[in-house]
A and B are shown apart, each in its own frame.
Chain A
Amino acid sequence: MSSSANTVAMGKKRPRIYSREAVLFGCIVFLVLFVLFTAAASRMYHKTIHVLADDWFDQGEVSFRAGDIKSALTDYRNALVYSPDNAKFQFHLAQALAAAGRGDEGRSYLLNLLSESPGSGEVNLALARIAAHKALTSDALRYYHGAIYGVWENNPIDMRWEVRRELAEYLLDHGLQQQAVPEIIALADSTPASDTEQLRIVGNLLLKAKLWTRALDVFRTLLAVNASDEAPLLGAATSAFNLGRYSAALDYFDRLPEKDRTAPGIAEMYKTTQQINEMNPFLPDLSREAKARKAATAVSLAATRLQQCATQVGQSLTATPSQTQLQKAFAESKEFTPDENWRNVAKHPEAVDEIMGHAFEMENAAAAACGEPEGADRALWLFGRSRGVSAQ
């Protein structure tokens, strides 16, 4: 088989020449052995690398949880050296970067991850937060929606709910009321009636979005579970007040502890509610006299406000023919002098509506000419609006 004649030439010792079959056989045997060796080495290598990557990642998690973001960044980067394609490591590094105020740096990792899994809820959320932090509203909206409709491995329903809540808060905080409303409504619709914590959050968002009816419904649901729960009581009172349901509002306010009723912002609302209830002649169980007296008081109050306003703007209320709203309202009010006739009114309770209507018109005309009233006038003005007297 071998060509031994070729082994010696020109008197110099030359390497032994093997037959081609032997060389080929040797190559194949060597190839097999080399594959086995490489497989073993590669297996050991990958094992070592995985252990290192996991160790560094775990260390990063510990640092991150401890608030040591700088160390966490180094640890996550070390982990990525040994497992550069690990989406979890990249995601956590991006989060750590964002936490360190380096959202731009984290963003590139996240975009990478997003290109690989565009439907990832987690990645979309992280990108949305970075965009929101930089007030890039269109990007933030896009990524928040990506997160809401994206894939979540754990607790998808809860996560989507949380993301939508975050989006709604972001929109409200940035004065984007119109865009916030559909998100909050969707959030309310997806909130189970049994989850009081979520209902509480939704109720507050509805309040912020001035969706009073829905807010009141939510707070009522909560109060059905616990009638003395302060936060829902306050929410319900605020909602009812803004809906013009002053009797209900007063009921909720009254059920609140004293400290809540006197809190800034609440105290004035409470006082106004009380005033409205005091001047409300339409309450059930009122005597004819009481109704008449309340109506007379309201007219008197409105007339005074009308005259003060006319003086303020320099108008004569007695001018004929009446041209301004103030003059028209004054002319109509002259037809009735409640101070002298309240007893007649008591005899004709059907006139209370008409009298109160005049009072509301006067307050409205004054508000239109001189701005929103204060104190009892404000209560009467609000009361009128709740009765359907539109602002001029």
Chain B
Amino acid sequence: MPPYEKINSEVLSVSIESALNAALKVLHFGGSTVMADRTFRNIVSVDKVTKFDIMWRLDNLVVSYDSDGHTKTILKSVGSVGTNLILVSKVIEMSEAVRDGKVKVSEVDDELLKISESTPIHSHFIFILVAGLAAAFYSLFHHGSIESVLIVFASAVIGQTVRLQLQARDIRDSHITFICGLLSAGIASIFLHLGYGQVEIQTLIASLIYLVPGLLMINGFVDFTKQRYIFIGLQRMLNALFLFIILAFVIVTAYTFIKF
């Protein structure tokens, strides 16, 4: 007899639901599928739930398990995927606390709510400043002149400010990338067109380097290397490629404007 059949169906349902919610949070905050899976297994391990099937996808998560002789399936939408690796590590730590018996399974949803509502580690000002600095440093190590550095810093700062406003309005990532990319590269190209800075593709790339979907690509690669997550890995990589194509289109448009 498989171990799950010995578990009370209500306990089983709470355990699976809570674990699924925690795994969803990991994906929602930009964690890899390996991390989400580990979080899920940490929580269900408390009630010794070992027999279940999960289908990992970037749009929905599907879990099926047997309860009282019937197969139950839960489907939950992942929703928008953001980036907050600190919250990812908090969710994982919480799941480890559940596994070690420090937190009850029934308290998982409350803990997740607390984590979601915790104050962001960096203020908007820091995120804006760091986006500008990333652009400036990228330009510097590509031998950018001081003028170029100042141009890309200003472009990235303005672009990131708009990006944070758009993200707060829950607008799709591809739209944000296009709008902010066009804004940052547009500002940079106006200055370059007027004769300031170095007219090089590096200057334009630097102005929107903060939009490069690095984390999406990393998670895609990490998932892709594991056979179990190959599908979600592909989804992430295609998503990243799509954003890259948007950025390339923006750069080409800005470059054409400079040369006009």
A and B from one complex: no
Instruction: List residues of chain A with CB under 8 Å of any chain B CB.
Output: none
Instruction: List residues of chain B with CB under 8 Å of any chain A CB.
Output: none
